[in-house]
């Protein structure tokens, strides 16, 4: 039956039928939408259900996320609290890279292993008390070999103690909107019921690490590498072997981190990149390690099958806009950020057009980075999003002397 005939019949059956038909149409419209846009710098994940497809995921929970925009392409029990095991280390790595960005530590800076760090059980790289390793080596030990001892050594080096470092981890989790997460250690060794996360929260912190610090993939994609232990006993080689077997199983895999304990079962946060689209597939509490990787691969293949990304990286364009009352009469502008748009429909991304709209009147003073307009993007008549247009430099307000000088230059010279 056509929609026109359907609504006509509803009209004859009275107000209740009309309301039901309206709700059905409303639902049909919104569930058919498979697109989203995002301002990249905000790094806010956007929860959009684009498919009701059943991928047959047997693991307890999962999330498939497009990394640039944070669009959720698929999920199962995404907010259910689960034990994270060594996936905890994603947050540890995120804080390490933040410290590197701030200049508080450097890659070649030496870190001394404490007796407490050495005492860590589980997965480790067998650091000795007093052993010195640089930050870059310890990053490799954490992300490639999942070394608990390396994790604690870095936590103590950055924050003075593991406890203080964990407090920072929980602060960062709140900042990212990880509402179903609480950490009790920096490595994931804890089997406490108070050490938990969710598939969605893992995707959030994975995205933050991967998008803000893409260099992490230089380390998470290492398959095997040796490090050198230097202690009072002499030097010895130790081989790091990546716990993420998806690197060999799936050609587009770039990382990121695995985890497993008897309580958490088998987990993975898998990143991949294909055709400039980066996806994050999180699988939690898989029954065995083979299922962990096979279901992550299933999610990634599904994502690349439905996901297309439009990206406008042309942030600089030769545009100047007029300023009233400034020491300069005009200022150059640029797009604040790269525009990205994720589509899961058959729409033609080659037909995207953009329109620049400036504020009606710009009056000095203005600061570099002030918003002076926007670039809006369209497919046909449909707006798919925008980015702000900002000033490339500051312009001060003209004083009396500046005004006289401009008058003299314009009308006399």
Question: Which residues are annotated as catalytic?
Answer: 86, 89, 146
> Do 127 and 138 touch, CB atoms closer than 8 A?
no
Question: Which structure tokens are listed for 32?
Answer: 């058919």
Question: Which structure tokens are listed for 312?
Answer: 């406008």
Provide CB contacts within 8 A for 354, sequence distance 6+: 312, 375, 376, 377, 378
d(CA 367, CA 353): 29
DSSP state of 366: B
> How would you write the chain as a 3-class SS string?
CCHHHHHHHHHHCCHHHHHHHHHHHHHHHHHCCCEEEEEHHHCCCECCCCCCCCCCCCCCEEEEEECCCCEEEEEECCCCCECCHHHHHHHHHHHHHHHHHHCCCCCCCEEECCHHHHCCCCCCCCCCCCCEEEHHHHHHHHHCCCCHHHHHHHHHHHHCCHHHHHHHHHHHHHHCCCCCCECCCCCCCCCCCCCEECHHHHHHHHHHHHHHCCCHHHHHCCCEEEEEEEECCEEEEEEEECCCCHHHHCCCEEEEEEEEECCCEEEEEEEEEECCEEEEEEEEEECCHHHHHHHHHHHHHHHHHHCEEEEECCCEEEEEEECECECCCEEEEEECCCEEEEECCCCCHHHCEEEEEECCCCECCECCCCEEEEEEEEECCEEEEEEEEEECCCECECCHHHHHHHHHHHHHC
């Amino acid at each position: 039956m056509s929609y026109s005939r359907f609504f006509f019949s509803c009209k004859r059956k009275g107000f209740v039928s009309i309301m039901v038909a309206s709700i059905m149409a409303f639902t049909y419209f919104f569930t058919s939408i498979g697109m989203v846009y995002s301002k990249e710098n905000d790094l806010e994940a956007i929860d959009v259900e684009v498919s009701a497809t059943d991928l047959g995921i047997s693991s307890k929970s999962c999330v498939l996320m497009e990394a640039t925009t944070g669009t959720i392409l698929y999920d199962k029990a995404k907010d259910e609290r689960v034990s994270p095991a060594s996936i905890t280390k994603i947050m540890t790595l995120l804080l390490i890279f933040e410290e590197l960005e701030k200049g508080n530590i450097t890659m070649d800076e030496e870190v001394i292993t404490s007796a407490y760090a050495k005492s860590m059980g589980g997965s480790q790289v067998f650091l000795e008390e007093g052993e010195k390793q640089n930050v870059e080596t310890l990053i490799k030990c954490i992300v490639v070999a999942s070394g608990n001892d390396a994790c604690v050594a870095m936590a103590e080096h950055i924050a003075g103690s593991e406890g203080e470092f964990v407090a920072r981890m929980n602060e960062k989790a709140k900042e990212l909107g990880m509402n179903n997460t609480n950490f009790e250690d920096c490595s994931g060794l804890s089997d406490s019921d108070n050490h938990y996360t969710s598939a969605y929260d893992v995707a959030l912190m994975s995205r933050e690490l991967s998008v803000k610090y893409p260099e992490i993939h230089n380390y998470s994609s290492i398959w095997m590498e040796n490090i050198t232990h230097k202690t009072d006993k002499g030097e010895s080689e130790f081989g790091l072997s990546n716990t993420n077997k998806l690197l060999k199983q799936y050609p587009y895999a770039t990382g990121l981190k695995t985890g497993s304990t008897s309580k958490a079962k088998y987990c993975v946060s898998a990143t991949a990149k294909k055709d400039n689209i980066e996806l994050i597939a999180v699988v939690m509490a898989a029954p065995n390690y083979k299922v962990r990787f096979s279901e992550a691969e299933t999610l990634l293949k599904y994502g690349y099958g439905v996901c297309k990304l439009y990206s406008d990286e042309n942030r600089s364009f030769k545009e100047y806009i007029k300023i009233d009352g400034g020491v300069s009469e005009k200022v150059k502008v640029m797009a604040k950020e790269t525009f990205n748009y994720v589509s899961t429909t058959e729409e033609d991304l080659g037909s995207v057009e953009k329109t620049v709209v400036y504020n009606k009147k710009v009056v000095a003073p203005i600061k570099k980075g002030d918003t002076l307009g926007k670039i809006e993007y369209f497919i046909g008549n449909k707006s798919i999003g925008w980015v702000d247009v900002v000033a490339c430099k500051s312009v001060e307000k003209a004083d009396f002397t500046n005004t006289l000088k401009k008058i003299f230059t314009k009308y006399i010279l």
